[in-house]
Amino acid sequence: MKILVLHGPNLGLLGSREPGIYGHLTLADINRQIADAASEFGVEVECKQTDIEGELVQWIGQAGGEVDGLIINPAAYTHTSVAIRDAISASKLKTVEVHLSNTHAREEFRHISLTAPVCVAQIQGFGPAGYCLALKGLVDVLHSTED
Ligand code: DQA
């Protein structure tokens, strides 16, 4: 089983970006935690980051036939991107949306997610641990829907 993990814009700055909100771990640290969790659950993961909306759309489109599930933190595009929502929907991939922070406890413009309605679940507010929780949940869902 293979899971693709996509990190959206500005998440490459983790470690130095607003550590009071996002913590001190870098994206490389988080990706290591995800890789450790993946080997614990016996699945393969690939983690990628981009600041570019169209690149996320292309990666999701290509992933459709290649991976079993998707974990995505669309970052700011969560609140704006019909294109990413449509790409998730078109891919038919079981998808979990992750946010490090609790977006509902922040500015009002972060309270809306355009992408969450086309995902099987959303996890937010647990910091980097959210990715490993998402992986556990997604692997369970994928196993339960196996032929
Ligand atoms: C975020 C929340 C978004 O509102 C914000 O734009 C981000 C990060 C999070 O992980 O908490 O860049 O997705």
What whole-number distance in Å separates Cα of residue 31 and Cα of residue 90?
26
Q: Specify the residue with its C-alpha closest to ligand 1, atom 3.
A: 75
What whole-number distance in Å separates Cα of residue 19 and Cα of residue 16?
6
Q: What is the pLDDT of residues 71-125, one digit of tens each?
A: 999 999 999 999 999 999 999 999 999 999 999 999 999 999 999 999 999 999 9
Q: 34 is written with which tokens? A: 């995800």
Residue ranges and CATH numbers for the domains of the chain are 2-146 (3.40.50.9100)
Q: Which has the closest alpha carbon to 3: 123, 118, 112, 134? A: 134
Pocket test for ligand 1, best of 10, 30, 73 (most atoms within 8 A of CB): 73
SS3 112: coil
Give pLDDT, residue 114. Answer: 98
Q: Which has the closest alpha carbon to 90: 60, 114, 70, 117? A: 60
Give pLDDT, residue 56. Answer: 98
- For the question of whether the overall pTM of this predicted structure is more than 0.85, the answer is yes
List residues near ligand 1 (CB under 6 A). Answer: 10, 73, 75-76, 78, 99-101, 103, 110
Catalytic, 22? Answer yes
Catalytic, 131? Answer no
Q: What is the pLDDT of residues 28-77, one digit of tens each?
A: 999 999 999 999 999 999 999 999 999 999 999 999 989 999 999 999 99
What whole-number distance in Å separates Cα of residue 26 and Cα of residue 128?
10
Give pLDDT, residue 127. Answer: 97
Q: How far is the centre of ligand 1, averaged over its atoms, from the C-alpha of 44 (Å)?
A: 25
Give pLDDT, residue 146. Answer: 82
